């Protein structure tokens, strides 16, 4: 029988290389943490999925419609050593969100430790001529859908702790003309972030949001060149942001690097809200 003293003596006399090899083997078999990223097929969501994969995470990516774009995200994640589980769904569908969250919890070896809520839409127009359906559709996707995801994420991580990072916007800090629906949805995200941060703290779940300004995504590229030029002139740093710049902030808030930060709305806007 090996006593504790004998085991300790053996460890003390073992070659340093052997101990190092055992530690390396243990680390190699430890499962990667899992991040759920919604809106993962394009833009900031895709950049966040890639950034997390490059830093040791497996990724569950939810997307609304484009299978080819999701497959492209999967290739980028896998090229960085991560596993990718893509799921097509409408985040405004409560039952679909609940079912997909169950798949995330059972589809990986590692624990769910971060949720990035980046799915969102715009449908711009001046309020005087905006239909109720147009207003409601943006709120349902951007705010109600985000609530469904966060509610199920809080339940999923209540025993392990973790982080939720929501995608807000500078339009949620200062409402923009022609975006009453979008501004309202992102203002709601900001308030919900702070409320959920207080609710999740006891379970070790931090909740923060990033609020990008003008960023080089499909939404920005869809504008005509004159509009883009006029927007750039309003930015103190003199350029629009890149999705990767926002993704790095998301990764910071999703990991223990920001372990004492919760309930914050981080503007990433080149100084436009300064």
Catalytically active residues, by annotation: 182
Query: How far apart are alpha carbons 63 and 41 in whole angstroms?
Result: 6
Q: Tally Cβ neighbours within 10 Å of residue 62.
A: 29
Burial 207-224 (b: 16+ CB within 10 A, else e): bbbbbbbbbbbeeeeeee
Gap between the Cα atoms of 170 and 272, Å rounded = 8
Distance CA 169, CA 121 (A): 12
- Element spanning 27, H or E: helix 16-29
CA-CA distance, 273 to 270, in Å (whole number)?
8
Cα separation, 125 vs 254, in Å, equals 34
The first and second tokens of residue 127, run together, are 């309020």
In the block, residue with structure tokens 């309202």: 184
């Amino acid at each position: 029988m090996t006593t504790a003293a004998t085991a300790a003596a053996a460890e003390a006399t073992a070659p340093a290389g052997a101990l190092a090899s055992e530690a390396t083997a243990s680390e190699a078999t430890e499962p990667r943490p899992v991040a759920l990223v919604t809106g993962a097929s394009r833009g900031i969501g895709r950049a966040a999925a890639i950034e997390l994969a490059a830093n040791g995470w497996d990724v569950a990516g939810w997307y609304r419609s484009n299978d080819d774009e999701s497959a492209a995200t999967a290739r980028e994640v896998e090229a960085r050593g991560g596993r990718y589980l893509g799921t097509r769904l409408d985040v405004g569908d409560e039952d679909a969100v609940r079912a997909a969250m169950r798949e995330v919890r059972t589809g990986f070896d590692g624990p769910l430790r971060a949720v990035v809520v980046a799915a969102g839409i715009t449908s711009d127009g001046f309020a005087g001529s905006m239909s109720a359906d147009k207003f409601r559709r943006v709120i349902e996707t951007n705010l109600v859908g985000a609530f469904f995801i966060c509610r199920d994420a809080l339940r999923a991580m209540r025993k392990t702790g973790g982080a939720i990072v929501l995608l807000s916007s500078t339009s949620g800090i200062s409402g923009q003309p022609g975006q009453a629906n979008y501004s309202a949805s992102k203002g709601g995200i900001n308030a919900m972030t702070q409320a959920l941060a207080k609710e999740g703290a006891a379970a070790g779940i931090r909740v923060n949001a990033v609020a990008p300004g003008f960023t080089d995504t499909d939404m920005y590229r869809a504008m005509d060149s004159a509009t883009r030029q006029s927007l750039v002139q309003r930015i103190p740093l003199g350029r629009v942001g890149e999705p990767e710049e926002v993704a790095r902030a998301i990764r910071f808030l999703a990991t223990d690097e920001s372990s004492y930060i919760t309930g914050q709305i981080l503007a990433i806007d080149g100084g436009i809200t300064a």
